[in-house]
Amino acid sequence: MSAVNHQWKKWQQIAGITVVCGLAVAGCNRSEDKAEETAEEAPVVVEEPQTPLIQCNDPMLEDRLKGALENGLNQEAQRILADYAERADISIDSAALSTKSNRVMIDINNANILPDASDGTMTTCQASVSMTLSSEDLYQASTFGAANNQPSLPSRLAEQNIRINNNMLIDDAFTYVVGMQGGQLQMRIAGRPAIIDSVSEVLASAVVKERIDEINAERAAAAATRRNEQRANEIQRTPKPPRVEPMQPTQPAPAPEPSSNSGSTSSSSSSSANSSAASQPTESKPANQSGLNQVPTDKQTEMVITYDNEATY
């Protein structure tokens, strides 16, 4: 009897173990089924590219970019100008450069996003930036470069990937970064823009060339003044010749008036006799001839010259 009970207990133990294993297997199957159902019910999430909060062509952003370009241009041009003035040993007023840089017109066109260089917080933009200068500044910069044995201005600009169109310098690959940080718009220029270097070089060269021309003009004027003063001193030291007054022409003496009527009668009779004597051919008269020829020299004179064969009275 004891053997039978012992065998029965053994079967009970085996049956219990079998039930426990079956329950465990069933639980595992249910967990796997639930995991499969959960995986099947989970929605598929597709990540879409985030739209940047700031667009590259935003007007407010363009205004800030222009302001940053103006400040950078003025600072770089002042640095180059100081270097030129030191090498040339001349003094230059920086206000002249500020006036030129303030006249530069800056335009921003074709602003686009660079997706590969952007993240969720900051956006990298690329645009075409142009700066328009005066014709005089470009001419002075070209002349200054030629005087210093530099390549032509278009060649130097091409080396920095800057196009020139009339008076406009253009950078077609200008890059800058924008984004919102702490609720404020942030913007920074990537690297050192080539267009700022190029335009700063042109402005500084133009100012230096104009200053050199002013110095040369001042020196030429001073030299001309010294020559004029030297010439004036030489003229003052040279003795002046005496002044010769022109001689007045001699006036003829007036003829005297006849003194009486008798003299007039005598002159008239003498003139008549002289005329008759002149009309006749000259003849030799005898020595004892008493007649004398009276020949007046002038009708208005009282002097009478008488001729005879021996003498003249």
Q: Three-state secondary structure along the chain? A: CHHHHHHHHHHHHHHHHHHHHHHHHHHHHHHHHHHHHHHHHCCCCCCCCCCCCCCCCCHHHHHHHHHHHHHHHHHHHHHHHHHHHHHHCCCCCHHHHHHHHHCCEEEEEEEEECHHHCCCCEEEEEEEEEEECCHHHHHHHHHHHHHCCCCCHHHHHHHCCCEEECCEEEEEEEEEEEEEECCEEEEEECCCCHHHHHHHHHHHHHHHHHHHHHHHHHHHHHHHHHHHHHHHHHHHHCCCCCCCCCCCCCCCCCCCCCCCHHHHHHHHHHHHHHHHHHHCCCCCCCCCCCCCEEEECCCCCCCEEEECCCCEC
Looking at residue 258, what is its pLDDT?
63
- Which pLDDT tens digits describe the chain residue by residue (313 residues)? 444 444 545 545 554 555 444 544 445 455 455 445 444 454 444 444 455 557 888 888 899 999 999 999 999 999 999 999 998 888 888 899 999 999 999 999 999 988 776 666 788 899 999 999 999 999 999 999 999 899 999 999 999 999 999 899 999 999 998 887 777 888 888 778 999 999 999 999 999 999 999 999 989 998 988 888 888 887 777 776 777 677 777 777 777 766 555 444 444 545 444 444 444 444 444 444 444 445 555 555 555 555 555 555 4
Q: Distance between CA atoms of 100 and 85, rounded to whole angstroms?
A: 17
pLDDT in tens, 195-226: 999 999 999 999 999 999 999 998 999 898 88
Q: What is the pLDDT at residue 81? A: 93
